[in-house]
Amino acid sequence: MKLKLFFIAVSFFSIKTSSQIAISNTAEMAKIKLGTTFFAMKDPASPKAIAYIDAIKKNWTLSKVECIKYTDVEKNIAPNNSFVTIGANMTSTNASATSETDFNLEFWTTNGKFVYDPKKRKHFNQDEKIVVASVNLFPDFYLQNNPSTLYKIDYDAAGHLKNWSAAILGNYIQQVVYLLNKSEERQAKTEFLNKNELGKIGTLYIPDYVLTKFSKNSDDESRKQDTKEIVEGSGLNCSFLSTEELNDKISDSPTPFYYLLLIKTNSSKSVTVTQSQSGEIVYSANSSTGNFKASDLKDLQKAIQKK
């Protein structure tokens, strides 16, 4: 059973992204709206999954929605059904002989050819999968090196995903739904901004994981950057808080606010700003690898001031 679970969970995921949201194959939406969208997780009955399931059911408005176990994905594959799954895909660079694992929340459907038959034990073929959206996730060092762990823990990821909480997931789903409804395809590296929304930023809320001095080959995340050095000279009013505090603020605040998220890999870095009530990503910028820097905030301020 463990081998089967690993096959189902890991081999479904193959798209590589370097920004936070990619949209493709929007023509599939016509059939997706006719079926059911299944969000897969270890155990939908787990107390740790409750807040996530609430966020899913509240914000996924394109079709009927159900939450199922990873092991139930294949048996629910049908022509109009679609799926949302967390996956890990290992990529390598021949020049440097290095590899890294990309983690994504993928929204996908199929070409309709696969028919589940437990007697034949035929598994779903990757060539029959059609990805319509992908959200890049930021794993910690442990998960990066032990990706199969993700399928052994509950949907809260036990703190191993940095840009992950029930409220953040709700905002991601809102943005994906919005873009799919607009049939707006977007490349993974697309940089964009909503000038009108950026101008409304009063205080920018930033989860404190962005202050970590990440080391490429070390699980030591104890070294932190000084907040004063990061903010100084940016001209922005910034408030740093934990991911848990950010989650609660998104859930409880009666007025919209704006928060920053960081996605980092060995080869790239993505910085986004999200509006907390609509889930709209109003700013997205990509750069080469490196820790979060004062220059990232200065670039944001330049975008705000740009005429």
The sheet with strand 36-41 has its strands ordered as 21-23, 129-137, 98-110, 82-93, 36-41, 64-69
Q: Which amino acid is residue 145, in one-letter code?
A: N
For the purposes of burial, counting CB atoms within 10 Å of the CB of 146, is it exposed (0-12), middle (13-18) or buried (19 or more)?
Answer: middle
pLDDT recorded at residue 102: 81
pTM: 0.90
For the purposes of burial, counting CB atoms within 10 Å of the CB of 222, is it exposed (0-12), middle (13-18) or buried (19 or more)?
Answer: exposed
Three-class SS state of 247? helix
Mean pLDDT per segment of 10 residues, for the chain of length 307 residues?
38 42 94 97 97 98 97 93 87 55 91 84 85 94 88 94 97 96 80 88 96 78 87 94 98 97 85 96 87 92 85
